[in-house]
């Protein structure tokens, strides 16, 4: 072995020991999760703790004539019953929403959706509280309700929000009707209309991304404990954004922010459901302040599905204009957004329709216009993202279905049409017609790799043969090939356009190296299962040369973690991940000065080598990061303050734009409507990959939720506003039995503005997956002249399609 080989080998061994970026490091948090040793909100048991439960409205729209709590209060074990009348003097019967609306904590004069919170019973245990909810007598006078958002602004529509009936100026401009929330438009309307008027080919379709729910396994919950002596409130809860919750609680309760301790312990899945603030949080806090003992609130499954947040419910009239040979010239979209009874959409404040204006997708579409109208209906409020960065799933669904419809009309292959319109590698950074600047991308390479791997040409040939066989009556099975090429927009965000209630959407990391060279690091984000304890440590390991196993990551305690805006919109890696790298580099810079002092050389004479600084040209003279850490506390250079720690608050210059190419092969039995996913191939590009195993897990999870949404999951309402699908009996939650096999792949196009070139990935598979499934179904039926088939594509609905097409004999 020659010297260089030895050096290389030694370096490789030291690198491997770090388990840094690029390593398939096993998830450290799973040691406790797989042994049932996680610590969730409901695991918390405090002395004297009481339990709250809600009385909920059976009606979708009704006037409350009276509430009588006397029978409930008389039940042994019941301690208190709160109603709007109790909260009103405190100014807490309404709470502000993230979207600039207010939301009833407990209904005062009216209920506006089924299962709305009417009273909060606090008792010695959960069962007594639950029993007592049945003893609260509420007299209702039922009112006509609005279920169909298209009827919401009719002249004779019942006015839903009487509390803001006369307030015709909303949080996002003028309201056209008492049931109108906002109109949001972007793009050049005149130019777009002109292109459409003169286009060779146009398509127009109402594409519905139906109402669904993130449904994490752990429901929303909180424990509030108010210490009357100290005047301090501790609030444990299922919070994706603990610091924001602390600020909001301070603003609405008047308690000073430093006397509020918000703690998000382990979280059993969030998927967007745990971003917003809910009545249960407020009532547990009020209960504890009033009673001086801890109060716990834990949602049951039905409450979770029917009241805390919904996702989607976008009705998108989508149009494309193109030349005869398939160059897309313009896009025009109108969205009717059903927001339910209160606008509690969880978006950055300036974005009433999230980042819906990413709807031009991965294509170079020169002209576009988007208009969104938000309306009130008698349904639960919410409007959370559900595994997508603020309405990106809706946007990608619109463009990816529209492109397929255009391909159909042009008689062009859908993959070819996409490639023809892709933004070219040399166009990045690319400014889209609706205002975004895509940081980087190489769509052609990704698409080619995907098509070659899946064997696209052969699949189309097989499909052509099967179609002939079907027409000849030899088979009852039809084959669909679904494609989706998506661009995500994650990592909110630059302060110039992203804030939550006025707080700029930066994020943070604080890294502290102990004298022995072990590390604790804290971030402003909060994992709900994404594996942050594993992956942030990998970033630090690579940056400062300390093994990931010696680095502990802590999140979720607002007393110790630096202020951050939390985890949603796949922003942890783009924002807090960047903060982590920058903080680590600050430490490294100080370490270099210490090393120079120790080795008695000038700083500039040192070079970094995996886990140490060494003297250039004298590789045997070095100091390891561990040695430097010890020195930092014991013998720092004169005039240098001791210690080795750093904090960074990172304000990203731009979002990151991960992308991917997905293909789905599906076989559908036209007689039963049963769809079988034969193959699903997902190629993701999230820039620099921190942990390939975790990325694969994220992709598996996101695709499974995409499969759920596209193929069956739905929160439906009947004409009386009764919520259908409020339990797992009706709401489709796929298990391993239904879930297809996933093939994953990748390309790497680093983000040019991110310190380590990483983009987010947590939501990409969902965003790309939903249209891919829907396109597969639509593609299967296309040759039969089915036209656009709305989601969800469960067997019953697909059977209906066959019925309509006269396929059943």
- Just list the catalytic residues: 240, 387-388, 763
* 763 interacts with ligand MCN by CB under 6 A: yes
* 652 interacts with ligand MCN by CB under 6 A: no
- The minimum distance between CB 389 and ligand MCN, in angstroms, equals 7
Helix (H, G, I), strand (E, B) or coil at 392: helix
- The minimum distance between CB 741 and ligand CUM, in angstroms, equals 25
- The minimum distance between CB 240 and ligand CUM, in angstroms, equals 6
Q: Are 784 and 709 in contact (CB under 8 A)?
A: no
Which lies closer to ligand MCN via its Cβ, residue 303 or residue 763?
Answer: 763
Residues ≥6 apart with Cβ < 8 Å to 18: 541, 542, 545, 546, 547, 548, 610, 611
* 761 interacts with ligand MCN by CB under 6 A: yes
- H/E stretch holding 44 reads none
Q: Are 401 and 502 in contact (CB under 8 A)?
A: no
Which pair of structure tokens corresponds to residue 196? 């459409």
Which lies closer to ligand CUM via its Cβ, residue 271 or residue 436?
Answer: 271
Which lies closer to ligand CUM via its Cβ, residue 517 or residue 569?
Answer: 569
Among 383, 531, 556, 712, the residue binding ligand MCN under the rule CB under 6 A is 531
* 762 interacts with ligand MCN by CB under 6 A: yes
- The minimum distance between CB 312 and ligand MCN, in angstroms, equals 13
Return the residues of window 372-391 that contact ligand MCN according to CB under 6 A. Answer: 387
- The minimum distance between CB 17 and ligand MCN, in angstroms, equals 19
SS (H, E, C) 682-731: EEEECECCCCHHHHHHHHHHHHHHHHHHHHCCCCEECCCCCEECCCCCCC
Which x/- pattern over 250-269 shows residues binding ligand MCN (rule: CB under 6 A)? -------------------x
Which residues lie near ligand CUM (CB under 6 A)?
Answer: 240, 270-272, 275, 385-389, 568-569, 763
Residue 769 interacts, among ligand MCN, ligand CUM, none and using kind-specific CB cut-offs from 5 to 8 Å, with none
* 569 interacts with ligand MCN by CB under 6 A: yes
Residues ≥6 apart with Cβ < 8 Å to 397: 207, 209, 316, 770, 771, 774
* 542 interacts with ligand MCN by CB under 6 A: no
Which lies closer to ligand MCN via its Cβ, residue 480 or residue 529?
Answer: 529
Residue 783 interacts, among ligand CUM, ligand MCN, none and using kind-specific CB cut-offs from 5 to 8 Å, with none
* 545 interacts with ligand MCN by CB under 6 A: no
- The minimum distance between CB 383 and ligand CUM, in angstroms, equals 11
Which lies closer to ligand MCN via its Cβ, residue 87 or residue 353?
Answer: 353
Residue 701 interacts, among ligand MCN, ligand CUM, none and using kind-specific CB cut-offs from 5 to 8 Å, with ligand MCN
Which lies closer to ligand MCN via its Cβ, residue 270 or residue 547?
Answer: 270
CA atoms within 13 A on the CB side of 452: 7
Residues ≥6 apart with Cβ < 8 Å to 770: 209, 393, 396, 397, 706, 709, 710, 791
Residue 133 interacts, among ligand CUM, ligand MCN, none and using kind-specific CB cut-offs from 5 to 8 Å, with none
Separation of CA 22 from chain center: 24
* 619 interacts with ligand MCN by CB under 6 A: no
- The minimum distance between CB 567 and ligand MCN, in angstroms, equals 4
Task: Characterize 673-711 residue by residue with b for buried, 16 or more Cβ atoms within 10 angstroms of its Cβ, and e for exposed.
Answer: bebebebbbbbbbbbbbbbeebbbbbbbbbbbbbbbbbb
- Helix and strand totals (H; E) in the chain: 19, 36
# binding residues, ligand MCN (CB under 6 A): 35
Which pair of structure tokens corresponds to residue 764? 């990409």
Q: Which residue has the tokens 């006078």?
A: 141
The percent of the chain in helix, strand and coil, each rounded to the nearest 5, is 30, 25, 40
DSSP letters, 660-672, are EEEEEEEEEETTT
Contacts with ligand MCN, residue ranges (CB under 6 A): 216, 269-272, 387, 528-532, 535, 567-573, 686-691, 694-695, 698, 701, 758-763
């Amino acid at each position: 072995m020659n010297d260089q080989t030895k050096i290389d080998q030694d370096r490789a061994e030291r690198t491997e020991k770090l388990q840094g970026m690029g390593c398939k490091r096993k998830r450290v948090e799973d040691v406790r999760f797989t042994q049932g040793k996680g610590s969730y909100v409901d695991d918390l048991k405090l002395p004297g703790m009481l339990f709250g439960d809600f009385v909920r409205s059976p009606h979708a729209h009704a006037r409350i004539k009276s509430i009588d709590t006397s029978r409930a209060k008389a039940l042994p074990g019941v301690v208190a019953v709160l109603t709007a009348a109790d909260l009103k003097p405190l100014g807490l019967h309404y709470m502000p929403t993230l979207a600039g609306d207010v939301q009833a904590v407990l209904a005062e004069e009216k209920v506006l959706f089924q299962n709305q919170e009417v009273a909060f019973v606090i008792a010695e245990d959960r069962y007594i509280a639950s029993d007592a909810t049945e003893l609260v007598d509420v007299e209702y006078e039922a009112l006509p309700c609005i279920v169909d958002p298209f009827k919401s602004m009719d002249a004779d529509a019942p006015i839903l929000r009487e509390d803001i009936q006369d307030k015709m100026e909303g949080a996002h401009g003028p309201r056209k009707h008492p049931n109108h929330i906002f109109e949001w438009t972007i793009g050049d309307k005149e130019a777009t209309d002109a292109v459409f008027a003169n286009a060779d080919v146009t398509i127009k379709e109402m594409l519905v991304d139906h109402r669904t729910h993130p449904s994490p396994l752990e429901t929303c919950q909180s424990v509030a404990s108010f210490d009357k002596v100290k005047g301090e409130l501790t609030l444990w809860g299922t919070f994706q954004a603990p610091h924001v919750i602390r600020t909001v609680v301070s603003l609405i309760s008047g308690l000073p922010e430093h006397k509020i301790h918000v703690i998000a312990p382990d979280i059993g899945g969030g998927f967007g459901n745990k971003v917003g603030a809910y009545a249960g949080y407020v009532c547990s806090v009020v209960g504890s302040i009033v009673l001086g003992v801890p109060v716990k609130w834990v949602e049951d499954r039905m409450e979770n599905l029917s009241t805390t947040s919904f996702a989607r419910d976008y009705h998108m009239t989508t149009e494309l204009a193109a030349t005869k040979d398939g160059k897309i010239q313009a896009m025009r979209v109108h969205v009717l957004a059903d927001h339910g009874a209160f606008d509690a959409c969880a978006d950055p404040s300036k974005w009433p329709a999230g980042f819906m204006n990413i709807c031009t997708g991965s294509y170079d579409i020169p002209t576009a216009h988007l208009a969104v109208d938000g309306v009130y209906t008698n349904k639960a409020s919410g409007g959370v993202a559900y595994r997508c960065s603020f309405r990106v799933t809706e946007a990608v669904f619109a463009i990816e279905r529209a492109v397929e419809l255009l391909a159909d009309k042009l008689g062009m292959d859908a993959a070819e049409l996409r490639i023809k319109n892709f933004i070219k590698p040399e166009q990045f950074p690319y400014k889209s017609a609706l205002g975004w600047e895509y940081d980087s991308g190489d769509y052609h390479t990704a698409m080619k790799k995907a098509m070659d791997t899946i064997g696209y040409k052969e699949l189309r040939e097989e499909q052509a043969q099967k179609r002939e066989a079907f027409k000849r009556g030899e088979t009852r099975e039809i084959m669909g090939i679904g494609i989706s090429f998506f661009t995500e927009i994650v990592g909110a965000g630059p302060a110039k356009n992203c804030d939550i209630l006025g707080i700029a959407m930066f994020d943070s990391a604080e890294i502290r190296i102990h004298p022995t060279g072990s590390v604790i690091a804290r971030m402003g984000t909060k994992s709900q299962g994404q594996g942050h304890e594993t992956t942030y440590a990998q970033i630090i390991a690579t940056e400062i040369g300390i093994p990931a196993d010696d680095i502990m990551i802590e999140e979720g305690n607002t007393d110790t973690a630096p202020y951050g805006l939390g985890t949603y919109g796949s922003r942890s890696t783009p924002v807090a991940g960047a903060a982590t790298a920058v903080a680590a580099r600050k430490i490294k810079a100080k370490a270099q000065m210490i090393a120079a002092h120790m080795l008695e050389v000038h700083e500039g004479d040192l070079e970094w080598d995996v886990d140490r600084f060494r003297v250039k040209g004298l590789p045997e003279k070095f100091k390891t990061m561990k040695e430097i850490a010890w020195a930092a506390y014991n013998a720092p250079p004169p005039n240098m303050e001791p210690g080795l720690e750093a904090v960074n608050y990172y304000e990203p210059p731009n979002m990151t734009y991960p992308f991917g190419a997905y293909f789905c092969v599906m076989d559908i039995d036209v007689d039963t409507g049963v769809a079988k996913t034969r193959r699903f191939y997902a190629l993701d590009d999230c820039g620099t990959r921190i942990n390939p195993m975790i990325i694969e897990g994220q992709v598996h999870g996101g695709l499974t939720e995409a499969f759920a949404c596209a193929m069956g999951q739905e929160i439906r309402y009947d004409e009386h506003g009764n919520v259908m699908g409020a339990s797992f009996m009706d709401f489709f939650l796929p298990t391993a039995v239904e879930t297809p096999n996933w093939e994953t792949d990748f390309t790497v196009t680093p983000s040019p503005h991110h310190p380590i070139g990483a983009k987010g990935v947590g939501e990409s598979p969902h965003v790309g997956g939903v249209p891919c499934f829907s396109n597969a179904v639509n593609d299967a039926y296309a040759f039969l002249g089915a036209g656009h088939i709305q989601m969800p594509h469960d067997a019953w609905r697909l059977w209906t399609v066959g019925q309509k097409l006269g396929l059943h004999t």
